[in-house]
A and B are shown apart, each in its own frame.
Chain A
Amino acid sequence: MTATLQTSATADINSAPRRTLSGWSAKPRTGAAATLSNDDNTALVTRYLAGETRAFDELVRRYHSRLNNFIYRMIGDRERAEDLVQEAFVRVHRHLHRFDTTKKFSTWIYTICSNLAKNELRNRSRSPLVFYQSARTASAEEDSRPLQFEDSSSRPDDMFANRHLRELVEQTVAKLSGHHREVFVLRELEGKSYEEIADITHCNLGTVKSRLNRARHSFAEMIAPFID
């Protein structure tokens, strides 16, 4: 795990002024930080650029979990997803002064994460060893994941069925092609509009619509035989 944190992202975080690793985590709001929660993203960006560093923490708190889930769905490796989210925030921090505040902040940060996830998949396809190691890590993580979702009073066969269903839906998303998976996750899990998905994926609206329709049908066709 220590090795996982030795990324360029972490190095940048550690070298950034007035910034610590824990300072960028999505901790619950307390005290004065709670007042930032009423601001929209653009206002937070403006505050941060004006020198109010807590505003960046609020952006991290808002986006960390959903970006982590988005990248995880794209690449299938939770630990690597965490690295890439850190990298995304480093890039946002580095280029925030160039952000066009007439645009949507969420589109910008999702685009960064989408590009990072695509690069990760591209790098894996070029390096079979990396892919193999990542796949091993991912499967080990799944095997040791605690069964927190189930009621502890459930019967063992119910618990097995629940766990089986969880693995089934995760694997079904993973089986979608990269293009289909991306629009499926952005629409169904992240709740993005078609226009925003088009911006994030650099596709036109027609392509987004047709990919999403096909992705939904593929997902449904794959999962239906296993569901009563």
Chain B
Amino acid sequence: MTRLLGCTRYRKQYSAFRDGTLAPQGAAEAQGHLDLCEKCRRRHHALEFGVRLLRALDRESAEQPLLQDQILR
């Protein structure tokens, strides 16, 4: 049976949960906490959204020509 996880324990395990390195039981407990706790769920989604956006910005910047190439052109 999956234990109920409080915010404090969930926060301690959060990095492992996000990295997908928690054992199945631990991952189920963390997911169970997210299903119940709106505050932690919102923060988790906010992190995922923010990181996706940052990665997109980095990709966009990588596609721009280098400053030195623009100068030499």
Contact = CB atoms under 8 A, between A and B. Distances in A.
B71 A1 contact: yes
Contacts of A69: 58, 61-62
Interface residues of A, number: 40
Interface in B18-41: 18
A219 B67 contact: no
A111 to B, nearest CB: 20
Given A27-B69, A66-B62, A219 B47 contact: yes
B43 interface: yes
Majority SS at the chain A contact face = helix
Contacts of A166: 53, 57
Nearest to A2: B71
A24 to B, nearest CB: 8
Interface in B36-73: 42-47, 49-51, 53-58, 60-62, 66-69, 71-72
Interface of B is mostly: helix
Interface residues of B, number: 29
A90 B51 CA distance: 31
Given A69-B62, A169-B53, A223 B46 contact: yes
What 7 pairs between A and B have smallest CB-CB spacing? A65-B62, A220-B43, A224-B46, A220-B47, A213-B15, A69-B58, A227-B46
Given A66-B58, A66-B62, A68-B62, 20 more contacts: A4-B67, A22-B69, A25-B68, A73-B54, A79-B67, A82-B66, A148-B60, A149-B56, A169-B54, A170-B54, A213-B12, A216-B18, A219-B47, A219-B50, A220-B44, A220-B46, A221-B43, A223-B50, A227-B45, A227-B46
8 contacts: A25-B69, A166-B57, A172-B50, A189-B54, A189-B55, A217-B43, A223-B50, A224-B46
